[in-house]
Structure 1
Amino acid sequence: MAPVNGNDPNGGRQRGVTIIDIARAAGISKTTVSRVLNGEAGVAPATRTHVTEVAARLGYRANTAARSLRTRSSALVGFLVPHLNEVFSQQAERLSLELRHHGVDLVISTSDWDPVAEVEIVERMASRGVDALVLSLTSDRNPDVARLLKTIDPALVLLDREVRGIAADTVLTDQSGGVEGAVAHLVELGHERIGLISMTDVNRPGREVPAAWRRAGERAGLDFGPELNVALPRFDAASGASATGRLLAADVTAVIACVPEAAIAGVLFDLRDRGVSIPGDLSLVGYHEPVLASAKEPRIAAITRDYGEMGVIAGRLAITRLANRDQRPRIETVGTGFVPASSTAPPRRS
């Protein structure tokens, strides 16, 4: 059978995937396929999911202009992030590509880590008719956000966030592998005073990372007291430098910095200004070392995760949710790992 999408070997354009193609591949009627693709009611959830998956596999491209007239769909998904750093840029790029496969475009807004601004942005995006919202909130404990999300129409996907009272499709990060791997590595080198720079507990990473750090310490027989954890409300260089000073005053021999790169840069600048060498005087583990930073010496050991994959999953959840608003909320999890490098060494003995 001739392929149904893309370019043919003779240089001509092949026809797009049709409802008939999807019906044949799914083994159901074209009427049912049409109802699923147009978001109509009266289709069993399992059938709706099956059709959506088959359509995605075949590379179906919706006629969004015609569909918008029929369904009042905007074919737009809003993406709210705190800041367009490398992490969120990777997520946005892969999310956009995933949505594009289904004829849906991405609209991005940033809050600059401002919980009040997030409420206003979500409200504006919803009022302008986006079909779905993918949210990476600065604070998932903001009651104003929770109240708003209960009242708006767009489908919701939460990106590593848990909002009380909101049942939504969610992409989570399992921090255990990376954080516990980093602590185990440092303990094996002989470190006992291992400091942590983290987010505050107003969002899920700010709760999960310290919990994983404490578990790893307990497993090693170490008591990680509160003086060893500095939680940052903002993620600029000044905040990173301030955290460094507090941890050095607590006599740490190693630091795990699970914060965005701007704050980690502040850590590095402060250590340089103090004349503290890495790893001679202090071992350092970062969070998702950027590609360019990996070219310098010492290369920073890092807790890693596949940020792009999180965007792909969020896109898939959004598309299938739009096809079936009645299915139960789904949770998918992306793991973390630890990559050792030359920024760690045994502690210097006095």
Structure 2
Amino acid sequence: MSLRQPIVCVLGHVDTGKTLLLDKIRKTSVQAREVGGITQHIGASFFPVETLKQMIGPLLSTIKGEIEIPGLLVIDTPGHEAFTNLRKRGGSVADIAILVIDVLRGFEAQTYECIEILKARKTPFLVAANKIDRIPGWNSYPDTPFLKAYQLQDKYVQEDLDNRLYEIIGTFSRLGFRADRFDRIRDFTRTVAIVPTSAKTGEGITELLAVLVGLTQQYLKKRLQTTAGPAKGTVLEVKEEPGLGLTLNTIIYDGTLRKDDLIVVGGKEKPIITRVRAILVPKPLDEIRDPRDKFSSVDFVSAAAGVKIVAPDLEGALAGAPLYAVGDGEDPEKYVRLVSEEIEKIRITTDVDGVVLKADTLGSLEAIAENLKRNGVPIRLADVGDVSKR
């Protein structure tokens, strides 16, 4: 049974270093580029298995020595916004998330929000306790594994870090999670792994990736098994492109999407049935000669992938909406029903006295509605689109 690459999302409070962490992971892998190198997808970066081997080579023994997944597909835009649109019925398109916490500040407002969203979507996660280089007295050893750098610190610095980690572990405990530093965990199914990192110096990045790969291989195998068949995806963003008109930036999480496929995608009024005119992927950075010419066209893609879909009649298509390719001989109406049901589940119209909620994407609508319900706020109307008079 072939496994697809897991889809990874990075979440955390503002200014915890999410973007820097993504950049560092990319940079480390660009340095390991000779073998495989990352490829840019739309809205995501793909790290092939060869690159991962280069990066976490010395730590392979910790995950039983073998990398079985073909790589990692890391969503480029960190934060809630992207994650809420990575939605699908009953959960998230993201297989696993990295929650970034500033080790000096601990839990902050959005950290709690991220955990609520991860819980609501049932997404497993690990924690990057970032900015260890800012701990008073910490001596940085760029790009070394955390455990090695930790052993080289003064006793008082080690104790300072330990105390800060205990505070984070304590907060998790109050929220009903067991958490611990990754090297002290026996059972990863029950305990949230915390990897101390510095996105600035690269310390701990190798362990973060090793734990990430280990977790996905050990516990998400069933979820990562791919099926041959028409594609299933989620629209990350609806984007106007010069010369192409409206396009759909889409994450394909199952099956294969081909040029000329008939697709059904969620729209504001009703599901849209259209045909794929082109599937675009970004050109490798070293091949972009002209900024207008930044995509190359492919005939098909298999999960997991981030692509830009060019098709007619996309007015009203929704970010966060499901997208299905229709198989040969299948009735598109089947998928129209599926998509309608899924979107109707999120829309709310009632006669109660309550708030009117309008959002620009399905993902944010679902996330805000869930949050309001959790806090006992009655909702009269929840829908996507502009606020208008009735």
TM-score, length of structure 1 as denominator length = 0.28
Higher relative contact order, chain-length normalized (CA < 8 Å, sep 6+) = 1
TM-score, length of structure 2 as denominator length = 0.25
**Bigger CA radius of gyration:** 1
Structure with bigger helix share is 1
Structure with bigger strand share is 2
